[in-house]
Chain A
Amino acid sequence: MKKHKLPIILMFVSPALLCYLLVFFYPTIRTTFMSFFNIKNIMDGVHKWEFVGLDNYIAIWKSDLFVQSMINFIKIWFFGGIIVFVIAMLMSVILTSGIKGKSFFRAVIYLPNVVSAVAMGTMWIQYVYNPKYGLFKTLFEFLGLENLAAIKWTTPDNIFWAMLIAFNFGMVGYFMLIYISGIERIPATFYEAATLEGANIFVKFYRITLPLLKGVIKTTLVLWTISDVGFFVWSQVFSMLNPVPGTVTPMVYMYQSIFGNNMIVTDRNVGLGATVGVLLMVIVVIVFALTNLLIKEEDVEF
């Protein structure tokens, strides 16, 4: 009987398996392979590749720009993560607490995700942060907060935080929706019972919502890491022609290694870009493993 099932299993699994092998597995293996070579052009045939062993892995850590990009990567992950997760969780709890106009607020908070990141970034740079007529300047002046109104958001010292605020503004809605769907899966009877026992809103959050959302939080942590790994468009919008220390990310460094600098003709090394790709992949795998290890889901069925 089991033997008879095998062809059927293979038949059903093969389309997905083939897709996975072609779209994910093969590029992963090839990129890893490329990271051991010096390759001038991304379309160069294998016969043009020059084997360099681990040189690329050593070279990236000697590059000040790459080290800076990793610092930015960690700062985005940590500080951005705290800001996004706290606000998204707060919003989702408020919106699932039975307030009026839930659909409206949910749509408004999610709206930035619908707009292209390039348009959003341009809006932040050219309008919100503009030191002459920007939203922040006029708003703070209106409120009489002259010190805040005088802040130049896009100076070398401030541009990282300016970019992070703009990026987080868009991401809150995305994670809020995920949390809302997680909270709505928790049976209302749990909360009713807690209310009858005299629990206030904070107790209900810490004793019911948070423990039962562990699985969702685990998923969002991995999703957040993946979006941080792919952090590219916002960097490009906040420094269009050349990377600057405040905006450079590993993905920008990888792009520059593969396709060269925008302003001048420089040597390219696709292998170096591949090395960055491998490193980022390893980071995602580690975060995934760590979250599985550290965040244990409650053994509760609901």
Chain B
Amino acid sequence: MKRKNVTVLLVVVMCCLNVFVGCQKQKSEEVKTVSKNDVSDKKILEYWTMWNETEIQGQVIKEAVDDFMKINPDIQVNITWCGREIRKTLQPALDKKEAVDIWDEDVERVVKNWGDYTLSLDDYVKKPYPTTEGKAYEECINYNLMNLIKVFSDDSTLKAIPYQAYITSFMYNKDHFIDAGITETPKTWEEFLVVCEKLKAKGHTPLTTDDAYADALIGYHLSRIKGYEWVEELVADESKAMWDDEAVLRMAEDYEHLASQGYFSKNIDSNIWPAGQQEVASGDVTMYVNGSWLPNEVLGTTGPDFNWGQFSYPAVKDGVETIGNLNFGSQCYAINKECEYPEEAFRLIAHITTGEWDEKLAASSMGMPSSNDANWPIQLQEAKGVLENATEWNPYGCGISSNIDLAPTIISNFQKLMSGELTAERFIEEMKK
């Protein structure tokens, strides 16, 4: 009897499930038909992005795209949220001629790695768009960033459009500067030493870094003395004879001096990223050379009211570089040269990178806006000046990391130099081993 009941119950459940699944199937087929009819008349743009849907940049871009589709009902934009995996997935997709109309990633990768697949945008930037207030697009965007893309390009054409720019500079706690009576940011190494001394006198630890960003310090310093091309030669020199150059000794002595004066955090040699940047975020240390994305990265610790400032790495006496030599870059948009609707694709890029959405993206991510007349987040007000005053582009780490085989050894020995474990001479000896 019991078995019979169970069987009846099972049959009833199965019938219900069948009806339910049947209805669902019919319903989804209806939806499919409707949406197919809707989409068939639309121009479809496939957009692959380096962001994840959950990231703040991803969220703002999604809103901007939705807004774009509302304004342009004849265009359908399909976003594929690749995240940083796009570095591995985009190339094969382009090779297989998959429909990818627009993509975004770091400027160097987009132009150098995928430049052959992109549409030249020189003609498109000469036109006005709804968000450029009658001006040509190129007049609205930071000149340095647009120019950088042409510099990277093999044929000097504009292969991409920059957005979410960054600079690598000293990021500092302005409240500490005010407390120490420092009214101006240092422009020379001598001024920098005065700043460090004033901070120390007021009980602030002037400097820190992490294993991951220590190369920016040594790279900038050597580059200020001799230029980044020389730094690239230095790390490529297999004989290691160039490490005997006076410039290396001078850099090492300058940092030995900083160590001997007690300007570095006590943990400078044991800071594994992100420990060092957390020292700045928690107010224990004042300065750290990092990308301008730092305020966003440590927001959880600092809160929104942290008083951030930025200044370019100081110039050194008789050095070849000025504070105008700067490492800067951006994410950027590219359009596939096979794209069926390039005009519409560029209109979407203009929609995101100028006007309302440009400012929203910058404000939400504490990043730099693309257009010249946009409001900058308060945390990056000084970075605006640093970028505008940039005269020359330097690569990340000013070339010190360009030999990836040697870079770990350089960083390791440099950490020991900053901690006082190595003298300037010993640093050079270790590098020549």
Instruction: Tell me the A residues contacting B by CB distance below 8 Å.
Output: 41-45, 63-66, 68, 125-126, 129-132, 152-159, 238-246, 248, 256, 259-261, 263-266
**Nearest-Cβ distance from residue B280 to partner chain A, whole angstroms:** 14
Task: Encode contact with A along B272-286: 1 for CB under 8 Å, 0 otherwise.
Answer: 110100000000000
Interface residues on B, range: 35 or more
Instruction: Report Cα–Cα, A49/B396, bound state, in Å.
Output: 30
Q: How far is the CA of A152 from the CA of B402 in the complex (A)?
A: 29
Q: How far is the CA of A189 from the CA of B273 in the complex (A)?
A: 56
- Extra pairs beyond A155-B416, A242-B401, A243-B408 (13, CB < 8 Å): A42-B88, A43-B92, A64-B409, A65-B405, A66-B405, A131-B267, A152-B267, A152-B269, A153-B270, A155-B270, A244-B412, A263-B397, A264-B402
What would 21 A/B residue contacts be, using CB atoms closer than 8 Å?
Answer: A41-B91, A43-B91, A43-B95, A63-B405, A64-B406, A65-B405, A126-B275, A155-B269, A155-B419, A156-B412, A156-B415, A239-B272, A241-B273, A242-B408, A242-B411, A244-B211, A244-B408, A256-B404, A264-B396, A264-B401, A266-B404
A245 and B412 in contact, given A43-B92, A261-B401 (Cβ under 8 angstroms): yes
Measured in the bound complex, the distance between the Cα atoms of B418 and A155 in whole Å is: 12
A159 to B415, CA, bound (A): 13
Of B401, B407, B419, most A-chain CB atoms within 10 Å: B407
B272 touches A242 (CB 8 A): no
Q: Are the CB atoms of A154 and B270 closer together than 8 Å?
A: yes
Interface SS of B by simple majority:
helix
User: Whole-angstrom distance between the alpha carbons of A157 and B408 in the complex?
Assistant: 13
B87 in contact (CB, < 8 A): yes
Contact with A along B92-116 (1 / 0, CB 8 A): 1001000000000010110011000
Distance of A132 Cα from B205 Cα, bound (Å): 15
In the complex, A207→B69 CA distance in Å?
79
Contact flag A263-B396 (CB < 8 Å), given A41-B91, A245-B409: yes
A158→B269 CA distance, assembly (Å): 10
Known: A45-B95, A244-B211, A259-B88. A152 touches B407 (CB 8 A): no
* Chain B residues whose C-beta falls within 8 Å of the C-beta of A157 in the assembled complex: 416
CB-CB under 8 A from B215, the residues of chain A are 242, 263
Closest Cβ of chain A to B112, distance in Å, is 6
Neighbouring A residues of B113 by C-beta, 8 Å: 265
In the A-B complex, the 10 residue pairs with the smallest Cβ-Cβ separation, listed nearest first, are A43-B92, A241-B212, A152-B270, A156-B412, A265-B108, A154-B270, A65-B405, A155-B269, A155-B270, A63-B405
- Name the CB-closest residue of A to B91: A41
Given contacts A264-B401, A265-B112, contact A242 B212 (CB under 8 A): yes
In the complex, residue of chain A having the shortest beta-carbon distance to the beta carbon of B269: A155
Partner of B407, one of A45, A68, A242: A242
Per the bound structure, the CA–CA distance linking A42 and B112 in Å amounts to 17
Query: A residues within 8 A CB of B108?
Result: 264-265
Across the interface, which residues of A come within 8 angstroms of B92, CB to CB? Answer: 41, 43
- B295 / chain A contacts, CB cutoff of 8 Å: none
Closest to B278 in A: A126
Q: How many angstroms from the CA of A126 to the CA of B274 in the assembled complex? A: 9
What 1/0 mask marks residues of chain B from 387 to 426 whose CB sits below 8 Å from any chain A CB?
A: 0000000011100011011111101110110010000000
Cα(A44)–Cα(B269), bound, Å:
41
Which of A41, A240, A263 is within 8 Å of B401, CB to CB? A263
Residue on A with the closest CB to B238? Answer: A62
Provide the residues of chain A in CB contact with B402, threshold 8 Å: 264, 266
How far in angstroms is the closest Cβ of chain B from A128?
A: 12
Bound Cα distance from A265 to B87, whole angstroms: 11
- Are the CB atoms of B419 and A263 closer together than 8 Å? no
